Chain A
Amino acid sequence: MTYDTDLSFNYYGPTKVIYGVDSSKDVEIEMGSIGGTRAVVVTDQGIIKAGLTDHIIKALGNKCVGVFSDVPQDTGVEVVDACADFARKGGADTVISIGGGSVIDTAKGVCILLTEGGSLRDYSGVQLLSRPQTPHIAIPTTAGTGSEVTNAAVIMDKEMGQKRLMVENYNIPRIGILDPKLTAKLPPLLTAGTGMDAMTHAVEAIHAIPHEPITDGLAMHAIRLLSRYLPVCVAKGDDLAARGQVQIAATMAGWAFSIAGVGNVHALAHSIGAVAHVPHGIANGILLAACMEFNLETCPESYALVAEAFGVREKGMDDMEAARAAIDAVKEFTKKIGHPQRLSEMNVTEDDIVKAADLSLGDGAIVNNPRVVLDASEVLEIYRKVL
């Protein structure tokens, strides 16, 4: 991989990351370190039932002013508005999210509304904010989205019929707490799907147009860790060492794509998610190899890095041969972890992919794809390969 002489980038990853088994018990100390005194906890019913919030709420004691647990699998503008009302009534000065991407993204929206007021509908745009937002401590219970360290949030807008991408450097969580125990009970399919979200962030951070040496480094090590430890987590969920490495990989991939961006895989995954409710990670996992094939001629040197990280670049291979090996490695990997292979397994129909193909052209991720996507028919062809 060579970089242009006119390479220029801004690397900005301000989140303090706390890692360790039982580190989530330190939440109250960490909140104090950023001046927080009154926290609203944002989570969902499943997380509460799984018993992942009790010890955190207990550690917060009377500094927890309320628990909002009505976040659905795909959060929406109205959920964020309701949660912000709830937080305002409790007088919260800190938002603590405990959950997967949907919960953390809800909390990101809430941080904006607590600082700026109004409804999330008033914040349609990119990098609109001009000052730091309400402090947010993110405690992920899946290892995939990397949302604990990113400037992005994806929130469904039912009126628009599309997932809305928010990108705000002033709204990156202050602290991310990675406690492997919180992901130990994830069932194999969810482990595989969320893990493929992380893998896709890493691969896409490498092929995205704004990629640079720092993000490439983060993404490549994320791929190494995922390729080694994600299969262990799928096979033996309570292996805390493996769970921890996958969490760290997800965070590293999050840092990478927060700067470098993502491309066609995410554009297609967001769109099929909006149309047919395919879980985000699984949509990425199904689409990744086919989207790499679409880009192959444009960026073999990027996929050669992916091959190196997977350990499949053999001596003497040129970039194109290595890139093909990377695509094969991704396909093999998804089979190894028992990941769904086709969209039809997720009840997606031909009608769905036609609608999603059109939506993809308006997805914020598509502008960073290495190969220019000219029209919906090209996207439809990718979807058809994996239907």
Chain B
Amino acid sequence: MGKIKAMTQEWMDAYKAAIEADPEYKEIAKNWEGSVALIVNPDPDKGVPEPVYLFMDYWHGDVGEFVVCDKAKAESAKFVMTGDYARWKQVALKELDSTKALLQGKLKMKGDLPYVVRNIKVVNKVIDILGRVDTLWPDEA
């Protein structure tokens, strides 16, 4: 299979499948409840002309809806994380640690911080899995 264009529905489907295929994910995420939205700020020079809204539903080790969505749906998620395209790409490529990025203000997070801290292993796991999706980034297309 060739590279999949980042931040498309096809890419979200591949990401969901990669999480479902991970042997450890179910156990690590067994207590996680709630949806996560990623908002990617536009960066026309890098091939992202409009903001992108991604919605992902995680529930006790299962993964539900994984969709490219509109602003309203993204903002309805339990956790909403916002950042520039270049920052998200760094996170996906594991060049930037998500916790460090949050504390430095490179990413913003709306939601219950203690909950995320308690479940930081889940966060690290899904980022780790994202790195396995063979991605074509818009600024490399």
Contact = CB atoms under 8 A, between A and B. Distances in A.
A128 B115 contact: no
A261 B104 CA distance: 10
B112 interface: yes
B111 interface: yes
A127 interface: yes
Contacts of B118: 361-362
B120 A367 contact: yes
Contacts, number: 57
Given A167-B103, A169-B105, A210-B103, A126 B117 contact: no
A128 B107 CA distance: 9
A126 B115 contact: no
B49 interface: no
A128 B108 contact: yes
A165 interface: yes
A164 B39 CA distance: 24
B51 to A, nearest CB: 14
Contacts of A362: 114-115, 117-118
A189 to B, nearest CB: 31
B53 to A, nearest CB: 17
A322 B117 CA distance: 32
**Chain B: interface size category:** 10 to 19
Contacts of A124: 110-113
Q: Which one of A9, A10, A126, A362 has the greatest number of beta carbons of chain B within 10 Å?
A: A126
Contacts of B113: 124-126, 164-165, 364
B110 A364 contact: no
Interface in A328-387: 361-364, 366-368
Nearest to A151: B105
A251 B113 CA distance: 26
A162 interface: yes
Interface string B94-113: 00000110111101111111
A124 B112 CA distance: 6
29 contacts: A9-B104, A10-B104, A10-B105, A125-B110, A125-B111, A125-B113, A126-B108, A127-B102, A127-B103, A127-B104, A127-B109, A128-B108, A128-B110, A130-B108, A160-B114, A162-B114, A164-B113, A170-B105, A210-B103, A361-B117, A361-B118, A362-B114, A362-B118, A363-B114, A364-B113, A367-B99, A367-B120, A368-B99, A368-B103
Given A210-B100, A362-B115, A362-B117, 11 more contacts: A124-B112, A125-B109, A125-B111, A126-B113, A127-B108, A128-B108, A130-B108, A162-B114, A362-B114, A364-B117, A368-B99
Interface of B: 99-100, 102-105, 107-115, 117-118, 120
Interface of A: 9-10, 124-128, 130, 160, 162, 164-165, 167, 169-170, 210, 261, 361-364, 366-368
